[in-house]
Amino acid sequence: MRVFNFSAGPAALPEEVLRQAADEMLDWHGSGMSVMEMSHRGKEFMAIHDEALADLHELLAIPSSHQILLLQGGGIGENAIVPMNLFGTKPRADFVITGSWSQKSQKEASKYGSAHIAASGQTADGFTRAPARAEWQLSDDPAYVHLCTNETIHGVETFDIPDLGDIPLVADASSHILSRPMDVAKYGVLFGGAQKNIGIAGVTVVIVREDLLDRAMPICPSAFEWKTVALNNSMYNTPPTYAIYIAGLVFKWLKKLGGLPAIEARNVEKAKLLYDTIDTSSFYLNKVERGARSRMNVPFFLADESRNEAFLAGAKARGLVQLKGHKSVGGMRASIYNAVPLEGVKALVEYMKEFERKGA
Amino acid sequence: MRVFNFSAGPAALPEEVLRQAADEMLDWHGSGMSVMEMSHRGKEFMAIHDEALADLHELLAIPSSHQILLLQGGGIGENAIVPMNLFGTKPRADFVITGSWSQKSQKEASKYGSAHIAASGQTADGFTRAPARAEWQLSDDPAYVHLCTNETIHGVETFDIPDLGDIPLVADASSHILSRPMDVAKYGVLFGGAQKNIGIAGVTVVIVREDLLDRAMPICPSAFEWKTVALNNSMYNTPPTYAIYIAGLVFKWLKKLGGLPAIEARNVEKAKLLYDTIDTSSFYLNKVERGARSRMNVPFFLADESRNEAFLAGAKARGLVQLKGHKSVGGMRASIYNAVPLEGVKALVEYMKEFERKGA
C-alpha cells in the first residue's frame, strides 16, 4: 500500500513515473542497458537529456534569452554558486528575507562580497509576510537582488514579482518551480533543487539569462561556473544522469496533465481545501498573511500543542506521513507538491476534522 | 537482452542490484514509499544511509582516523573542492601527473594557489607510466601531494603507494576504488565519483583523515566544506538520496561476493585475459608499461586503424558496447569495472580473435 507523503523534500513522485522507471530499469528502450549504466556521451543518454531540456523549455515557456543548466549541489550549493558566478565585477547583492532559505542565501553570499538585506518579512510571529517591492530598500547598483519565491520551511510564497529593470533578479524557486506558470523573462536567474516538483535529489535546475554567463569570480570552481557548464551542454563534468532521466519522466507527466496551467488549477484546489480547513477551525492555525500563503508548503499548528504527538501518530496510522513541522518552527507542515494528489489532501483534511472532533 | 557494457562511466551495474532497485521502486520495505520519495531526515532513509556507510567502512577497512563524506560534484568538482579545503594555511600543493585526470586536477588547483608538478608520466607515446616515488620532486612543505591512482582515459594505474610521512597524500581513486583492497591509512584524502565501481553518477565518496577537516579557505562553499559536511553526517544539504541507496546495494553485492579480496581476484583474471589477448597479437596494441597497466580501463589500438569502425560495428552487433576510445587518445578502450562479468571479457576477447582472423 502506498502512503500519502507530505514530505518537504525529497518528496512524493507521480506513481506512474515510478512505475515507468521500474519497468525500464534493466533495459531502456531495447538498449540492453539501464539508464543508470549509460555513458553520458552516448546517443541514448544524450536523447534523454535533450528531450528533458526541451520539455522543460516548453513547460516553463523559457524565452530564447535564457538557458537551462543542470548542476549538482542543490539550493544550498547554489547559495555559493550564484555569488561566485555574479560577483566577478560587482561583489555586492541585495537580499529580500522571507524565511530560513533566503537567510541562508544571504549569509553564504557574504563570504564572497557584500550581502545587503533589502527587506525582511519577519514579524513577532516569525516569517509570515512577503514584503512588497515598495518596501525593498535596494542598494546602489547591486550585482543582483536575491529572492526566495517560496520559503519551504515558513510556507511564504511571493506571487507579485516586480520588474527590476537592469538589475538581475535571482530567484530560488526550489520548492514551487513547476507548480504554476512563471514569467521567466522577469528573472536573471531562476534556480531550483529537483527534490520537490522536478524529480529526485541530486540535480539542480539553473535557468540563466545569457548575458549573465560572463560575470564569474576567478575562484569559481569549473564544475559550477555557469559559462563552462553552458558551453558544455551541462556535461563538463559527468551529470547526475539518472536524476535527469527521472526529471524527464516528470516533465512528460506534467505535459500529459496539461502543463503548468492545469497543475496550477489542481494546486489551487488542493491549497484552498487545506487552508479552508485550517481557517474554519479554532483547533488549527496558520500564521502566514493570506496573500503570501504558499500553495506548496502549509505549516500549521494545533491550538493545543500537547496533542502534537497524538496527531502525528493518528495520521501515520491512516497512511498520512511526514507531517511534522520543521524543527525550527515546530507544529505541523503539509507539503502538497504537484505529485501529491487531491485525494491525499482530502484524506488529510478528513483526518484533521476527525481528530478535532474526537481525537486520534 | 542485456548487453556487455564497457563504458568508462557511468558504467555497468550488477544486474541483481538493478533487479532489487526495480522491485523496491514503489514501496521500500513496506514503507509505502519509493526511496526516491523519502525525506533524508526520516528514519527510513537514515537507516539506508548509515548502513551504506557502515558497509563501505567494512569493505575498505577504513581506520577510525578517517571519515567518509558523501558530496556532490564528482571528481571534477573535487578538483576545486580539495584545494578549497586544504589551502587554508598553505596554498600550495604538488601534483604527480599520470594522465588527463591529474592534469585537470593540477590546472584547477592553480586557481586557488600554487600547483607544482612534481613528476610526469608523459612519454613520446603519451601517458604510459606511473612515476615512482624516487622520481617525485616534491616542493618544500606542500599542503598535500595529489595523485590520480587510476587514470581512466590513459589506463595507467599506480600500485605502489609511497609513505609520505607528514605530507598528506590526496588520491583521486574514482575509477578503481573498490576494485581491490587499499591501505586507507596511507592517504590523507581518498575520493571517487560513484559512476564506476560505486553506483550511479551524482554522489562523490570522500574519505578524509580527521585532522585535515580544519584547513579550509574562507571562500569554500558551505555545501562542499568537509568540516561542515562531516559535522552534519553528510546532510548539511539534501544528499543525493537515491544515488546513496544504489551505492548501498552495490556494497551489499560486494560483501556477498566476498569483499575486496574476492573482487580483486576476479579483476586480476579479467585484466589478464584481456591484456594477454592484446600482447599475444600483433593486431592489437597497448602502450602502457606493464607494471602500470590499469585493471579497470584497458585502452588498446588496432595496428590498422582504418579497421576501427568495422571493429566497433562488429562488436556492437554482438552486444559488446561502449568500446570506442576516448577522443583525446583514439583507438579502443574496454573498461572492465567490478560489475563487468568475466563472461563479458571472454566474449570480448573471443570477438577480438575472430575479428583479427576474419574481420567483423
Domain ranges of chain B: 15-256, 258-358
Whether residue B5 lies within 8 A of chain A, CB to CB, comes out as yes
Looking at beta carbons, which residues of chain A come within 8 Å of B221?
Answer: 73, 77, 79-81, 84, 108
Give the residue-averaged pLDDT of A61-67. 98
For chain A, positions 245-284, list CB contacts with chain B under 8 A: 246
Q: Residue A360: what pLDDT? A: 63
Q: How far apart (Å, rounded) are the C-alpha atoms in residues B167 and A43? A: 44
Q: How far apart (Å, rounded) are the C-alpha atoms in residues A94 and A139? A: 7
Q: Are A117 and A95 in contact (CB under 8 A)?
A: yes
Q: How far is CA B50 from CA B27, B69, B71, B224, B255, in A?
A: 20, 12, 15, 20, 16
Whether residue A222 lies within 8 A of chain B, CB to CB, comes out as yes
- pLDDT tens for chain B, 360 residues: list them: 899 999 999 999 999 999 999 999 999 999 999 999 999 999 999 999 999 999 999 999 999 999 999 999 999 999 999 999 999 999 999 999 999 999 999 999 999 999 999 999 999 999 999 999 999 999 999 999 999 999 999 999 999 999 999 999 999 999 999 999 999 999 999 999 999 999 999 999 999 999 999 999 999 999 999 999 999 999 999 999 999 999 999 999 999 999 999 999 999 999 999 999 999 999 999 999 999 999 999 999 999 999 999 999 999 999 999 999 999 999 999 999 999 999 999 999 999 999 999 876
Query: How far off is chain A from B44, nearest CA to CA, in Å?
Result: 12
Q: What is the pLDDT of residues A190-237, one digit of tens each?
A: 999 999 999 999 999 999 999 999 999 999 999 999 999 999 999 999
Integer-rounded Cα Rg, in Å, for chain A is 21
Q: Which residues contact A287 (CB under 8 A, 6 or more apart)?
A: A125, A126, A128, A301
How large is the ipTM? Answer: 0.98
Whether residue B242 lies within 8 A of chain A, CB to CB, comes out as yes
H/E stretch holding B304 reads: none
Q: Are B271 and B291 in contact (CB under 8 A)?
A: no
A35, three cell numbers = 539508464
Is B202 in Cβ contact with A242 (below 8 Å)?
yes
Bridge partners of residue B66, in order along the sequence:
B209
Query: How far off is chain B from A72, nearest CA to CA, in Å?
Result: 6
Give the Cα-Cα-Cα angle A207, A211, A217 (nearest 5 degrees). Answer: 85
Burial B62-101 (b: 16+ CB within 10 A, else e): beeebbbbbbbbbbbbbbbbbbbbbbeeeebbbbbbbbbb
Bridge partners of residue A191, in order along the sequence:
A172, A206
| Minimal Cβ distance to B238: which of A10, A15, A238 | A10
Whether residue A21 lies within 8 A of chain B, CB to CB, comes out as yes
pLDDT at position A42 over 70: yes
DSSP tag of B154? T
Q: Tell me, which fold does domain A15-256 have in CATH?
A: Aspartate Aminotransferase; domain 2 (3.40.640)
Least Cα distance to A71 among A251, A218, A243 occurs for: A243
| Minimal Cβ distance to A25: which of B18, B75, B240 | B18
* Per-position DSSP letters for A90-107, written without gaps between them: --EEEEEE-SHHHHHHHH
Cα A200–chain centre separation: 12
Tell me which residues of B are annotated as active site. 101, 172, 196
Looking at beta carbons, which residues of chain A come within 8 Å of B3?
Answer: 31-33
Please check if B172 is assigned to a binding site: yes
Q: Which residues contact A57 (CB under 8 A, 6 or more apart)?
A: A68
Which CATH architecture best describes the domain B258-358?
Alpha-Beta Complex (3.90)
Q: Using 50, 70 and 90 to split pLDDT, how confident is the model at A346?
A: very high
> Residues of A annotated as binding site for L-glutamate?
41
Looking at beta carbons, which residues of chain A come within 8 Å of B9?
Answer: 39, 238
Bridge partners of residue A130, in order along the sequence:
none
Is B74 in Cβ contact with A77 (below 8 Å)?
no
State phi, psi for A193 to the nearest 5 degrees: -65, 150
In three-state secondary structure terms, B90 is coil
- Looking at A196-265, which runs of residues are DSSP E strands? 204-209
Is A22 in Cβ contact with B36 (below 8 Å)?
no
How many CB pairs (< 8 A) connect A and B? 227
Q: Which residues contact A15 (CB under 8 A, 6 or more apart)?
A: A2, B26
Q: Residue A295: what pLDDT? A: 98
Q: Which residues contact A185 (CB under 8 A, 6 or more apart)?
A: A63, A65, A66
* Per-position DSSP letters for B290-302, written without gaps between them: GGGB-SSEEEEEE
Give residue for cell 481557517. A279
Q: What is the pLDDT of residues A209-218, one digit of tens each?
A: 999 999 999 9
Give residue for cell 585502452. B299
Looking at beta carbons, which residues of chain A come within 8 Å of B240?
Answer: 72, 200-202, 240, 243
Strand order in the sheet with A145-148: A66-71, A204-209, A189-193, A169-172, A145-148, A92-97, A114-120
Q: How far is CA A105 from CA A224, B188, B229, in A?
A: 17, 31, 17
Whether residue A344 lies within 8 A of chain B, CB to CB, comes out as no
Regarding the domain with residue range A259-358, which homologous superfamily does it belong to in the CATH classification?
Aspartate Aminotransferase, domain 1 (3.90.1150.10)
Least Cα distance to A286 among A123, A124, A102, A128 occurs for: A128
Q: Residue A358: what pLDDT? A: 87
Task: Tell me the pairing of strands B122-123 and B126-127.
Answer: antiparallel
Q: How many residues does chain B have?
A: 360
Q: How far apart (Å, rounded) are the C-alpha atoms in residues B113 and B110? A: 5
Least Cα distance to A103 among A172, A160, A197, A168 occurs for: A172
Q: Residue A359: what pLDDT? A: 75
Q: What is the pLDDT of residues A113-166, one digit of tens each?
A: 999 999 999 999 999 999 999 999 999 999 999 999 999 999 999 999 999 999
Q: How far apart (Å, rounded) are the C-alpha atoms in residues B360 and B338? A: 28
Q: Which chain A residue's Cα is nearest to B34?
A: A18
Query: How far off is chain A from B20, nearest CA to CA, in Å?
Result: 10
In three-state secondary structure terms, B284 is strand
Residue from B242, B245, B318, B323 to probe the interface with A (highest A Cβ count within 10 Å): B242
